[in-house]
Amino acid sequence: MYCIRQEERWRGRKKTETNHWWQRETPFSSFVPKLDARNRLNAAREIDPVTLPNCQLIKGIERGSEDIDILPNGVAFISSGLKYPGLKSFAPDKPGEIFLMDLNEEKPRAVELRISRGFDLASFNPHGISTYIDKDDTVYLFVVNHPHQKSTVEVFKFVEDDNSLVHLKTIRHDLLISVNDIVAMGPDSFYATNDHYFSDFILMFLEMFLGLTWSNVVYYSPKEVKEVAAGFYSANGINISPDKKYIYVADILDHKVHVMEKHANWNLTHAKTLQLDTLVDNLSVDPDTGDIWTGCHPNGMKLFYSDPENLPASEVLRIQNILSEEPVVTRVYADDGSVLQGSSVASVHGGKLLIGTVFHRALYCEL
């Protein structure tokens, strides 16, 4: 059980047209379980807006802000320019970027980070990101990358003096098949989600619409690489509790956040599940309160088809006390796409909120 503040009564808007994309026949129509797929994508859901008084779009971010990670000192890293199979891109021929925002500034602005020579910038296609601060205060940035439709994890060192990233290594492995998000455990170790079992677009499509639960979570270190959790429709966002005891995993197509207990051998066991009524994307954790903030897709059909007259909406949830018997879920922000399309992440620091998107803009709010 859980409570929902500002509870929304889900209403399915009446459809009088007969040529909507979800009604069209496709080569797969004879065997794809369309009703189940529509339910997983929340195809009938419409939302009521929830506004915040002090928000503005972030200048310079025009091609997405798929993931955001904020350091304890208020410096935020933002991945931009993701090109993902089946999803829109406003600049498909341009490489991705990593932006930085210092939330301590009176008027924070996005600054593109320079990446060291020798790294293949032309094929840079950043997805999920995670930071790790070592004992000597070195800041490592882990970036999920999809060069040439593959999956790698790029490890960078952040150089604050000149706002640059020094590329340290590229990690590839047979278990890192279709990586979506990552949470760093050390300077060279992490948990990662594979959102699909396959990396081929057609097989990914079939996997989703057939409802196969072959998605998983992998632990990586130089000494050991292994699957530590499985059975997801599409494991997406991943993060860790402030006490380092639990790993949170969002299953975007099952509308759930899974709480996994972390063990000394890095294995994960299921502790509990929180059911929601939205497609949960990336997860951010407030280090002070332990609250989970997440960017969500109220209607996944709109995200995939990106109709300019029926834009993909945005929704931000705050989950408090997820380990309790009655977590509190608050809808902090919701927009029909007129301001922000396809929210994928929400992250807070010091009363300031950043909302990122898969392929659109980014929003800065003062709470």
Query: Domains in the chain, ordered, with CATH?
Result: 39-366 (2.120.10.30)
So what's the pLDDT on residue 30? 40
Give the CA distances from residue 347 to residues 60, 293, 316, 327, 350, in Å, rounded to whole numbers and listed in that order: 19, 6, 10, 19, 11
Q: How far is CA 18 from the centre of its chain?
A: 33
Q: What are phi and psi of 203, to 5 degrees?
A: -70, -35
Quick one: pLDDT band at residue 307, thresholds 50, 70, 90?
A: confident
Q: Which residues are annotated as a binding site for Ca(2+)?
A: 66-67, 129, 180-181, 236, 281-282
6, β-bridge pairs: none
Q: Rounded mean pLDDT of the chain?
A: 91
Q: Does 341 score more than 80 pLDDT?
A: yes
Give the CA distances from residue 248 to residues 86, 187, 193, 281, in Å, rounded to whole numbers and listed in that order: 26, 20, 11, 12
Q: Does 7 score more than 60 pLDDT?
A: no
So what's the pLDDT on residue 24? 40
Q: What is the mean pLDDT of residues 21-47?
A: 64
pTM of the shown model: 0.90
Give the CA distances from residue 359 to residues 4, 195, 291, 312, 356, in Å, rounded to whole numbers and listed in that order: 29, 18, 26, 11, 9
Q: Which residues are annotated as a binding site?
A: 66-67, 129, 180-181, 236, 281-282
So what's the pLDDT on residue 191? 99
So what's the pLDDT on residue 20? 36
Q: What is the mean pLDDT of residues 267-275?
A: 98
DSSP H/E element including 288: none
pLDDT in tens, 318-340: 999 999 999 999 999 999 999 99
Known active-site residue 258: no
Point out the catalytic residue in the list 127, 167, 258, 360: 127
CA distance 267 to 42: 32
So what's the pLDDT on residue 13? 35
So what's the pLDDT on residue 184? 99
So what's the pLDDT on residue 19? 38
Quick one: pLDDT band at residue 344, thresholds 50, 70, 90?
A: very high
In contact, 204 and 179? CB cutoff 8 Å: no
CA distance 356 to 365: 12
Q: Does 216 score more than 70 pLDDT?
A: yes
Quick one: pLDDT band at residue 29, thresholds 50, 70, 90?
A: very low
So what's the pLDDT on residue 209? 84
Q: What are phi and psi of 161, to 5 degrees?
A: -60, -35
Q: What is the mean pLDDT of residues 284-295?
A: 98
Q: What is the mean pLDDT of residues 5-27?
A: 37
Q: What is the mean pLDDT of residues 300-329?
A: 95
In contact, 299 and 288? CB cutoff 8 Å: no
**Range name among 17-26, 27-36, 185-194, 221-230 with the lowest pLDDT average:** 17-26
Alpha carbon dihedral 294, 295, 300, 303, in 10-degree steps, equals: -160
Give the CA distances from residue 24 to residues 17, 40, 340, 347, in Å, rounded to whole numbers and listed in that order: 12, 18, 27, 38
Quick one: pLDDT band at residue 85, thresholds 50, 70, 90?
A: confident
